[in-house]
Structure 1
Amino acid sequence: MSDLTFNRRLRLYLIGFAIGLPIMWGLMRHKNVMPLPSEIITEQVLANPIQYSKHARCRMECRNITEDEILAVLKMGDVNYSKSEVQAKPCKKYAFEGKTTDGQELRIIVGKCEDVNTIITAIDLGAEHECACE
């Protein structure tokens, strides 16, 4: 007798699942997916012209980091909010972290202003470099 009850419950469950699945699919397929906050920041940084501070140029030269590697980290890297200063004035500072094509782990600090973004510094997270930069 309990098998009959179990079979009936199973059948009702499967019927409900078969009805509910297409309904949920129909409701969810038109839902807009919101980008992540780091994706929004990346888009905003790449939308404006990028300039390099003297300090960043010195660090890049000392650590053998190219502009292409900087752009690759900005495009493919992640924003490290614990190292960022999002309340800084006049420009917010964001720390992008990622790997270059040759495996170098970098942290790029970007000053995000209204009309231009400035690369403030480039840090090699995998090695110490003695740079004579101010």
Structure 2
Amino acid sequence: MKLKYRLAYYLFGLLLGLFFVIKFLGAKAEAKGVEFCYLPNCRVLKELRSKPLDFSPETKSILTQDWISLEDIKATLKYGDVDFSKSNLPYNNGKIYIIEGKTTQNEEINITMINYPSKVVLEKIEKK
């Protein structure tokens, strides 16, 4: 058998095998709540979601307003984008992260969070 035919069979088998591995192992991981986060943005957001969330007095007053809710903050922590050029700065035994997201009314917001070893503090909420 010529090399090009062997290579074609090999690639076909490899793709078929990858399809089954992703299909079955991916479904198994989703059922157990496992999330595969290899990119920096995903890893930071996952770490921020995994810790207890506290609020600064400024953000407590902003959350009482009608234009933003706690659900918007949770959605931003799941689907937002971390601005790494302004983030990962040391601050009082923690690190500051600025996350860009959207509200349910499709308004763009920036939230500033401080990541401490045992908790996360929502420091500031701003409209863009």
**TM-score after normalising by structure 2:** 0.71
RMSD: 2.8
* 2-structure distance, mates of 1:63, 1:34: 33
Matched with 2:41 is: 38
What code does the residue aligned with 1:16 have? Answer: L
Which structure has the larger Rg over C-alpha atoms? 1
Report if aligned partners of 2:48, 2:115 keep a CA contact under 8 Å in 1: yes
Report if aligned partners of 1:59, 1:123 keep a CA contact under 8 Å in 2: no
Aligned-residue identity in percent: 24
User: In the comparison of the two structures, how many residue pairs are matched?
Assistant: 113
Report if aligned partners of 2:113, 2:123 keep a CA contact under 8 Å in 1: yes
What code does the residue aligned with 2:90 have? Answer: A
**TM-score after normalising by structure 1:** 0.68
Report if aligned partners of 1:104, 1:124 keep a CA contact under 8 Å in 2: yes
Q: Residues 37-56 of structure 1 correspond to what in structure 2 (within 5 A)?
A: 37-56=40-59
Report if aligned partners of 2:68, 2:103 keep a CA contact under 8 Å in 1: no
Matched with 1:69 is: 72
Highest RCO, 1 vs 2 (Cα 8 Å, sep ≥ 6)? 1
Structure 1: gaps spanning 5 or more residues? 1-10, 126-134
What code does the residue aligned with 1:104 have? Answer: E
* 1-structure distance, mates of 2:40, 2:116: 17
Higher share of residues assigned strand = 2
